[in-house]
Amino acid sequence: MTYSKWGSTMIDVSREKLVEMYRKMLEIRYFEEKVFELYGQNLVPGTIHLYAGQEAVAVGVCSALRKEDYITSTHRGHGHCIAKGADLKRVMAEILGRKTGYCKGKGGSMHIADFSIGMLGATAVVGAGLPIATGAALSVKLQKTSQVVACFFGDGASNQGTFHESLNMAAIWKLPILFVCENNLYAMGTSQSRVMLIENIADRAAAYGMVGTTIDGNDVLAVYQTAREAVERARKGEGPTLIECKTYRHKGHSRMDPAKYRPKEEVEEWLKKDPIKRFQDRLFEMNVLTEDEKGEIERAVIAEVEEAVKFALESPYPSPEEALEDVYA
Amino acid sequence: MTYSKWGSTMIDVSREKLVEMYRKMLEIRYFEEKVFELYGQNLVPGTIHLYAGQEAVAVGVCSALRKEDYITSTHRGHGHCIAKGADLKRVMAEILGRKTGYCKGKGGSMHIADFSIGMLGATAVVGAGLPIATGAALSVKLQKTSQVVACFFGDGASNQGTFHESLNMAAIWKLPILFVCENNLYAMGTSQSRVMLIENIADRAAAYGMVGTTIDGNDVLAVYQTAREAVERARKGEGPTLIECKTYRHKGHSRMDPAKYRPKEEVEEWLKKDPIKRFQDRLFEMNVLTEDEKGEIERAVIAEVEEAVKFALESPYPSPEEALEDVYA
Amino acid sequence: MRRISYRDALREALREEMLRDERVFLLGEDIGRYWGGAFKVTKGLAEEFGEERVRDTPISESAIIGVAIGAAITGMRPVAEIMFGDLTALAMDQIANQAAKLRYMFGGQISVPLVIRTPFGGGVNIAAHHSQSLEAWFMHVPGLHVAAPSTPYDAKGLLKTAIRSENPVVFCEHKLLYPVEGEVPEEDYMIPFGTATIRREGTDITIVATLYMVHKALNAAKTLEKEEGINVEVVDPRTLVPLDKKTIIESVKKTGRVVVVSEDCKTAGVTAEISAIIAEEAIDYLDAPIKRVAAMDTPIPFSPPLENFVIPDENRIIRAVKEIV
Amino acid sequence: MRRISYRDALREALREEMLRDERVFLLGEDIGRYWGGAFKVTKGLAEEFGEERVRDTPISESAIIGVAIGAAITGMRPVAEIMFGDLTALAMDQIANQAAKLRYMFGGQISVPLVIRTPFGGGVNIAAHHSQSLEAWFMHVPGLHVAAPSTPYDAKGLLKTAIRSENPVVFCEHKLLYPVEGEVPEEDYMIPFGTATIRREGTDITIVATLYMVHKALNAAKTLEKEEGINVEVVDPRTLVPLDKKTIIESVKKTGRVVVVSEDCKTAGVTAEISAIIAEEAIDYLDAPIKRVAAMDTPIPFSPPLENFVIPDENRIIRAVKEIV
Ligand SMILES: Cc1ncc(C[n+]2csc(CCOP(=O)(O)OP(=O)(O)O)c2C)c(N)n1
Ligand SMILES: Cc1ncc(C[n+]2csc(CCOP(=O)(O)OP(=O)(O)O)c2C)c(N)n1
Ligand SMILES: [Mg+2]
Ligand SMILES: [Mg+2]
């Protein structure tokens, strides 16, 4: 059994929900643009991996989840946090290494977590989140709650051994989990076609007797609809789903990567498929959004992001000795 | 592209080759029975994993290889060694921990190697041989020899991350390798159906864009024919093949395992499918073998095995200080 | 007091903790009804608690640990078994980079109450892939606790502590200890981590020994007493992280001489850390070099005479003691 | 003599060895033309030698090492890159159980001429999964050699030796060293493994330091000389396995005092082994405890003030020296 491709057939979503999804996507976009800017000003220690361009995936999936559902994330995790409902202020503070950040400055951009909203954290070891997410799904099953887990990872991660081991375990134990592969076509400078022969990573699901589907990851409604169905199946005890979302990162892999390994035409083509622009046009078309409302939302989001920056920049760094805390419980 | 199931359609094999294959299978069987006996007499240190029942796989595959081709093996490796042409005496001596063994007593039953015949050795870490075999295939490709590699592993091993990573690499680089999965339906006490949802492990090949096929692993001619085709494709630069051979081990997993986890009927059914008995009947049918010749071969093999035992038992143990040799080159 | 085996003591700890706390569950390869664990530690538990709580897994060591971590950070208390200690290498990222670090990286938001049980050690002729002692790898990873019980009493008491701990614990067992019997009370008890025990009091020299080496050290001590009149104190740390430095150092201060004995390879092993601590904190009390007795720096060979040579025995311990007394 | 960076010195070694011996090839994630390695060490080599010999791989660390092993035992001389040292954990079975042990298990039938290059170390604020120093794990595995060059000269000379060695070498680089420049001759040279070098002669105290810590130790030595009149000798082992015990011990015998400095976590780390050797073999020459300066036993935190606190700096080295002089 595999899903068919919906394209963007209209589905039963309330106006409020649609606007909320739109707003979340904007939050991520503006947030990431701000992080990029701060990075340029030398205010962000270490490295960054921006989520801009992939917003439809995080928002589409997280919109299908409840607050108590779990997600796991990656080095490219800001979007996942925000989509799951994290506080921009504390995300930004963490990225800037401040004491008020979600992890008190210990984690940074690549290791944000917010357990209060079911965000089980990001790992920077590519592929390492898959078994952990699978374990959370087992936990849910053993505790007989009706939670589900969404595990985000990249195309590159799908070549790790943990992908294989985790999907197999989730399948045999019929765990309530969505394996969400964000196929942005590259792992650093390595295009998918150089490291796997198959075109659709979702086809790997068959190796585990799992349901798999490949969708347009820049169409937030397609993502939402697919995730909703997978969540439903998961909650009913029908097991895991591998959802491959084809998408694209707007920037380079990290920091100052100019991403010269991507053909210019390819980049241009994908920029045209900008998920926010597409969703916005759709919302206009559907009369869900007016230009005025759009402007209002944008202003609110920009203000929120600015507030986050202000909060972060005004927050103190942790004091050195705090490094010794939290090693053990 | 997948192979069809041949059953045992007749193929172009010389009489000598058929008899040689039969003889090798007998060698393995008698050898293993002897090891079992010696184990009962407390002459074998450590543990043993017998190959009896699976002879058609090793012999079928290795008969399709040249001497200079490579194989890698597992904890259940005696059969692979013998099929590739190892000297029974030195295999037995190794199993008994003697200085004259292939590895001077350092390896034992689970770690036999004979590089002079392309037997690249056995690893006792389940699944660890797959990337190593893949590397040998890369080596062959880089050195532009026409060798191929056959990598043996079990059904259990196919759930390891290394399976995934290795098959993918072999596929993308079109390496000359046969991944030979000996599916004996169990990994220790764990039946395949409890640890994977799919029935045929060869179906996993599709996840890598690789050719995969499932065959009757107790039909030595089917194995041989399949391996020959895969070897041919490999030598032509057409890449790897995953060959799943359904088979069965006659004894328990190791040592004194009574294998109570296997239903009696299942065991009986498989004993009826004994690969040696089947091949023998076939050879009679085809008038390749007479009862007299059979008796002669049996006597010769028994004598050879006895000689191996004698050689091993008369061989000295290594002296303790030899433990310090061979750590570094 | 009743005497039971180390194996049975471990099983009792698992069983009692599973009865006490339904969040406790076990996972690993062939730990269930069909095998009961390679060393039979979990035998009978699947029958009692069901396959959900005594969970057979595919051969996927990374995922076993990863799954256990995921369960641990979401309210469960998993006890994962890795069938042989050597195979922890396959799960090293999950153990050292994930289990050990999640709490820290996430600023203390969660704890990772996970126990990883695994047998180390040689002596049963199963060669280089099934005989190592790798405790030192885990000692080197902040965030992990490392237990190393040498008796049935400690096995049970420490395993209970491990299961109730909020921290990830690498629980090191030893193949040769499973059949060893010793006194174990019927009633519930726990042994706090970081408390060494003095297995034998003595005045002339201290031997610090772990796991199966504790028994070899005690034998050596007996021989030394009888044949040389050397009065040996034997200290068993019981947990390597946290390490009860105080007891070790007090003993060394008393005797002025020390031999550190462990079955892992010498270089950068358990004995290195314990020696280094003594050299840093108690050197003024020493009347002799700090001796280390450990496995030779080789893989563990298969053939009995080779393996016996590589792994420390009583004679090597005796020789080391005699060199500095 | 001309001065080039550590990064360029490494690249020269790779390039020259590839020109010299066509069996040498490189593999790793994004080492090829599209990226040139995360730290640009292999930049330009794919263009020169082609994609067959400078081989980009999928993100599959276990298979990268396993494939390299398979190639090494069948006539090739692979140099594998693991993008960050922390990620060796993913390949630990292949490194420690396979590469290190195959020769031994197979009774010396083959050697495993494999180099695993990987950058360790912190200081660039990339947190717990990209900043560790794990040399000690590999020191603890017989069968492996462990190189740890601290200068461009050593980087080139040791890498050439590693590539021509028949043994598997874990070649530890350090992120902060890549841009560091130093003298490197134009002509071919190799540095034998197991030869320490004295970076600075002194009489009052010995500092044994590795990798980036060599530079911090030298700075500390300068300050100590100037401000306290303490004359420090700095010994850089250059390879951790084999370790040049002789040079270390001779220095300690001369000065009578020693501080061992390494960036890895203190417990069961590099400093433990070096301390333990001194305590075992040269204790009679010591006038003070053996001090260790190492990273705190915590994961590496992200935020700069935290990371700076955890990783040893000149001040901690100076304090340790002053405690025992
Ligand atoms: C196991 C591992 N290998 C390598 C790296 C270095 N690295 C960080 S991100 C990345 C690419 C990941 O690609 P993908 O999974 O497609 O995610 P994306 O960056 O495209 O979102 C690599 C190789 C790492 N962090 N972990
Ligand atoms: C990585 C690893 N996990 C567990 C073991 C213990 N073990 C040895 S053989 C075996 C079963 C292997 O099953 P399979 O791959 O099907 O091979 P078979 O024994 O059936 O030939 C197990 C679990 C091991 N040696 N290595
Ligand atoms: Mg990607
Ligand atoms: Mg099997």
Q: Is the pLDDT score of C96 beyond 60?
A: yes
Per-residue b/e over C222-250, b at no fewer than 16 CB within 10 Å? ebbeeeeebbbbbbbbbbbbbbbbebbbb
Residue A247 CA, ligand 3 centroid: distance in Å: 9
Are residues D212 and D225 in contact, defined by beta-carbon separation less than 8 angstroms?
A: no
Strand A177-183, strand D205-209: pairing = unpaired
Residue B10 pLDDT more than 70?
no
Are the beta carbons of D201 and D233 closer than 8 angstroms?
Answer: yes
Nearest Cα neighbor of C291 from C247, C321, C254, C251 is: C321
- The tally of domains found in chain D comes to 2
CA D33 – CA B158 distance, rounded (Å): 33
Q: Is the pLDDT of residue B9 over 90?
A: no
Q: What is the pLDDT of residues C144-166, one digit of tens each?
A: 999 999 999 999 999 999 999 99
pLDDT at B78: 98
Are residue C55 and residue C143 in the same domain, yes or no? yes
> Closest Cα partner for A47 from C95, D130, B217?
D130
D9 inside domain? yes
Residue B12 has a pLDDT of 84
Note the pLDDT of residue A12.
84
Q: What is the pLDDT of residues A195-217, one digit of tens each?
A: 999 999 999 999 999 999 999 99
Confidence class for position B32, pLDDT limits 50, 70, 90: very high
A56 CA to middle of ligand 1, Å? 20
Residue type, D218: L
Of D59, D87, D297, the CB nearest to A187: D59
Give the pLDDT score at A9.
52
Per-residue pLDDT tens for A111-132? 999 999 999 999 999 999 999 9
Residues with CB in 5 Å of ion ligand 3: A 154-155, 184, 187
Pairwise CB contact (< 8 Å): B97 & C310: no
Residues D78 and D107 grouped into a single domain:
yes
Q: What is the pLDDT of residues D201-225, one digit of tens each?
A: 999 999 999 999 999 999 999 999 9
Q: Are residues D163 and D34 in the same domain?
A: yes
Asked if pLDDT for residue B3 goes beyond 60, the answer is no
Across residues B69-93, what is the average pLDDT? 98
Residue with CA nearest ligand 1 atom 20: A187
Q: How far is CA B120 from CA B40, B77, C111, D70, D116, in A?
A: 29, 11, 45, 9, 21
Same domain, D152 and D222: no
Q: What residues make up the domain containing D319?
A: 197-324
- Using an 8 Å CB-CB cutoff, list chain A residues near D60: 159-161
In a domain, D190, yes or no: no
Q: Does D89 touch chain C (CB under 8 A)?
A: yes
The answer to whether the bond into D242 is cis (omega within 30° of 0) is yes
| Separation CA A174–CA A166 (nearest Å) | 12
Whether residues D93 and D57 fall in one domain: yes
Top mutation candidate among A49, A185, A188, A253 for ligand 1, by most atoms within 8 Å of CB: A188
Answer yes or no: is pLDDT of A8 > 60. Answer: no
Within 30-89 of B, beta carbons closer than 8 Å to D belong to 70, 72
A12's CB contacts (< 8 A; 6+ apart) are none
Residue B255's pLDDT is 82
Question: Does ligand 1 lie within 6 Å of residue A253's CB atom?
Answer: yes
Share of chain A above pLDDT 70, in %: 97
Distance A188 CA to ligand 1 centre (A): 7
Mean pLDDT, range B299-308, rounded to an integer: 98
| Cross-chain Cβ contact C298/B323 below 8 Å | yes
Region D306-322: what's the mean pLDDT? 98
In this predicted structure, the answer to whether residue B6 has a pLDDT above a threshold of 50 is no
Task: Report the predicted TM-score, pTM, of the whole model to 2 decimal places.
Answer: 0.98
| pLDDT for residue A169 | 98
Q: State if residue B76 touches ligand 2 by the CB under 6 angstroms criterion.
A: yes
Instruction: Give the integer Cα–Cα distance in Å for D102 and D92.
Output: 14
Distance C39 CA to ligand 2 centre (A): 15
Residue D188 belongs to a domain = no
Question: What mean pLDDT, rounded, does chain B reach?
Answer: 96
pLDDT at C184 > cutoff 60: yes
Q: Which atom of ligand 1 is nearest to the CA of A49?
A: 19
Residues of A in contact with C142 (CB under 8 A): 327
Residue with tokens 């420090």: D232
pLDDT at A256 (0 to 100) = 83
Dihedral in degrees, nearest 10, Cα atoms D113, D114, D115, D116: -160
Residue B7 has pLDDT above 50, yes or no: no
User: Is any ligand 1 atom within 6 A of the Cβ of residue D90?
Assistant: yes
Specify whether D133 is located in the same domain as D273.
no
Cα distance between residue C91 and residue C93, in whole Å: 6
Structure tokens at A239: 């097991």
Indicate the pairing of strand D145-147 with strand D239-241: antiparallel
pLDDT in tens, C244-256: 999 999 999 999 9
pLDDT band at A7 (very low <50, low <70, confident <90, very high): very low
Structure confidence at residue B1 (pLDDT): 29
My answer on whether C103 and C249 are in the same domain is no
For residue C188, being part of any structural domain is answered with no
Co-location of C174 and C206 in the same domain: no
Kindly report whether the peptide bond that precedes residue C242 is cis, defined as omega within 30 degrees of 0: yes
- Please write the tens of the pLDDT for every residue from D75-107: 999 999 999 999 999 999 999 999 999 999 999
The answer on pLDDT for A11 being more than 70 is no
pLDDT tier for residue A10 given thresholds of 50, 70 and 90: low
* pLDDT at position A6 over 50: no
Considering the domain architecture, whether residues C210 and C317 belong to the same structural domain is answered as yes
**Ligand having the closest approach to the CA of D86:** 1
Best A2, A134, A160, A168 residue to mutate vs chain B (most B CBs within 10 Å): A168
The DSSP secondary-structure symbol of A173 reads: T
Is residue D268 in a domain?
yes
Cα separation, C143 vs C158, in Å, equals 18
In contact, A259 and A252? CB cutoff 8 Å = yes
> How much distance in Å is there from the Cα of B157 to the middle of ligand 4?
8
Q: Could you tell me if D150 and D250 lie in one domain?
A: no
Q: Is the ipTM of this complex over 0.85?
A: yes
Task: From C183, C218, C239, give the residue that closes a domain.
Answer: C183
Q: Which domains does chain B have, with CATH numbers?
A: 17-315 (3.40.50.970)
Distance from B193 to chain D by nearest Cα, in Å? 27
- Is the CB–ligand 2 distance for residue B48 below 6 Å? no
**Average pLDDT value for residue range B265-278:** 97
Residue D145: active-site member: no
Q: Stretch D50-60: mean pLDDT, rounded? A: 98
User: Which chain A residues contact residue C72 at CB under 8 A?
Assistant: 135
List of chain C residues whose C-beta atoms are within 8 Å of the C-beta of residue B164? none
- pLDDT of residue D19 exceeding 70, the answer is yes
3-state secondary structure of D147: strand
C-alpha–C-alpha distance, residues D305 and A322, integer Å: 9
Percent pLDDT > 90 in chain A is 96
Q: Could you tell me if D178 and D56 lie in one domain?
A: yes
Does C313 reside within a domain? yes
Ligand 1 site, residue A184, Cβ cutoff 6 A? yes
pLDDT in tens, C25-45: 999 999 999 999 999 999 999
Identify whether D192 is part of a domain: no
Report the CATH number at residue C156: 3.40.50.970
CATH number at residue D299: 3.40.50.920
Q: Best of B50, B57, B75, B249 to mutate for ligand 2, by most ligand atoms within 8 A of CB? A: B75
Q: State whether C161 and C14 are in the same domain.
A: yes
For residue D207, is it within any domain?
A: yes
